[in-house]
């Protein structure tokens, strides 16, 4: 009886949080695919990942990483030039 109660609570939790609806939509999309993908698991991963809301901080961090990569490359180039100058003298 307690196990059934826990199962029911968990089911309600999944339903309330939108998990059941999202999984159902992805499975329906897979079912409706005219040509089934080679990997159903990859299909699910791709569609579940795509349906997750994007955190605004993630885009800001991506931009910051891109800027840092550019700065890093510039510093490496400068370092290379300075080493070449030091070797000449």
18-39 pLDDT, tens digit per residue, is: 999 999 999 999 999 999 999 9
CA–CA dist 69, 83 (Å, integer): 21
Show me where the domains of the chain are located.
1-52, 54-88
CA–CA dist 1, 8 (Å, integer): 11
pLDDT confidence bin for 52, thresholds 50/70/90: low
Helix (H, G, I), strand (E, B) or coil at 15: helix
pLDDT cut 70: percent of the chain above it: 93
Contact call for residues 30 and 43 (beta carbons, < 8 A): yes
Handedness of CA 31, 36, 37, 40 (dihedral sign): positive
The structure's pTM equals 0.50
């Amino acid at each position: 009886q307690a196990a059934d109660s826990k199962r029911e609570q968990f089911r309600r939790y999944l339903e309330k949080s939108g998990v059941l609806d999202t999984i159902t939509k992805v499975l329906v999309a897979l079912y409706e695919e005219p040509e089934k993908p080679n990997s159903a698991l990859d299909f699910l991963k791709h569609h579940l990942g795509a349906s997750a809301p994007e955190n605004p901080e993630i885009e800001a961090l991506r931009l910051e990483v891109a800027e840092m990569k550019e700065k890093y490359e510039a510093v490496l180039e400068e370092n290379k030039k300075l080493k070449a100058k030091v070797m000449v003298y």
